[in-house]
A = this chain, B = another copy of it.
Amino acid sequence: MSLTVVGSVAFDALETPFGKRDKILGGAATHFGLSASFFTEVKAVGVVGGDFGDEEWAVFDRHHINTDDIEIVPDGKTFFWSGRYDYDMNTAHTLDTQLNVFETFEPKLSEHSKNSKLLFLANILPMLQKSVREQCPNAEFVAMDTMNFWITSMKDALIETIKVVDCIIINDAEARQLTDEPNIHKAAKAIMDLGLKAVVIKRGEYGATLFTKDNYFAAPAYPLESVFDPTGAGDTFAGGFMGYLAAHKEITEETLRRAMIYGSVMASFNVEKFGTERVDALDYPEINQRFKAFKQMTHFDDIPFEKASSAA
C-alpha cells in the first residue's frame, strides 16, 4: 500500500555528551521517511527554504522518497532547531527554534499523495493535521503524532483531530497529559474511546506498547548501552511502523505487532549516531538481524506449570 507523510523537514544543530553537529538534516518527515523507505515507497509533504541543498536532497533521493510535494520557498529559510542533551538522554533542552518557512506551512498534497492508502500526520498544528486527513478520503489507515505543547494549548482541537484518525503514536507522558490519567493503561483506553483502532505508547528505554480493541502488545526496547543522539527516534519508530504496514496487503493484529518491532528496530538504529547518519547507511541484513534479536529477547516457551511436575 502507498504511504504519505506530512511534517517538518529541517536543519538541526545538536549537542550531546558525545559530540556536536552544527547543521544537519532533520525534521519529523525526514526521519519518518527515511525509516519507512526501507519497507515501502514514501511520499513526503513538507516545506523547505532556498538553503536546502543538494546534499540534503541526495538523502531523500538515495532512499527513493518522493519529494514532489516538498514545497521550496526560494527566498525563505528551512525550519531550524537547535538542542542539547545531557547524560539523561530523555530530555531535549531546546536552545533555539527558528520556524522560518515552516511557520506558514500549508501542506499541499498532489493527487498522488492524497491517494495514499496510509497516511502519517507528523507533529504539526492539530487543525492542519485534520485538514490533511480530510483531503485524503481514500486513506485506509491514518496515524498521527502530537506533542505536549498542543495538548496544553489546544486540547479541544487536538481531540477533534484524534477523532478522525485510526491510530495515534505518542509517548507515555503525552498520553497521561492528554487524559489526566496517571495509569497508562487507563489513559490508552480513554484515547481509544475517541474512536481509534490502535494506540501506540512509546516509553523510551522501556519500549513501546500497542493497544487495539481486544489486544495488548508489549515490545521491549533494544538493550542499548549508549544512546548517542535520540533526536528523531520517535519519528523513526513511526516510519518503521507505518512503512512495515504499508508493505502488506492487510493490517491485522499480526502485522501491527511486527510493525511495532520493526519500528523499535529502526528507532534503535537511529539513536546510534547523529541525526539521520545511521539510518541513512542501514541495510536489510542489519535490520532483519536486529528484528531477530527482538524475537530472541522476548521469547519464552508457553508451557503451563503443572504441580505434579514439581517433585524434585
Contact = CB atoms under 8 A, between A and B. Distances in A.
Interface of A: 1-2, 38-40, 87-88, 182-186, 189, 203, 205-207, 209, 215-218, 220, 223-226, 244, 246-249, 254, 257-258, 260-262, 284, 287-288, 291-292, 295-305, 307, 309-310, 312
B88 A182 contact: yes
A305 B244 contact: yes
Contacts of A207: 206, 218, 220
B39 A310 contact: yes
Contacts of A301: 254, 257-258
A23 to B, nearest CB: 29
The 7 closest A-B pairs by CB, nearest first: A218-B220, A247-B310, A206-B206, A257-B300, A288-B304, A295-B302, A185-B223
A131 to B, nearest CB: 27
A246 B312 contact: yes
Contacts of A254: 300-301
A224 B244 CA distance: 29
Number of identical monomers bound together in the oligomeric complex: 2
Nearest to A204: B206
A305 B287 contact: yes
Contact of A305 (B87, B224, B291, B305): B291
A33 to B, nearest CB: 15
Contacts of A205: 184
A292 B297 contact: no
A218 B183 contact: no
A87 B176 CA distance: 14
Contacts of A217: 297-298, 300
Contacts of A203: 206
Interface centre among A182, A288, A298 (most CB of B within 10 A): A298
Interface centre among A207, A244, A299 (most CB of B within 10 A): A299
A297 B244 CA distance: 20
10 contacts: A185-B225, A218-B297, A218-B298, A247-B309, A247-B312, A257-B301, A258-B303, A284-B307, A292-B302, A298-B300
Nearest to A88: B182
A284 B305 contact: yes
Contact of A292 (B218, B262, B292, B304): B304
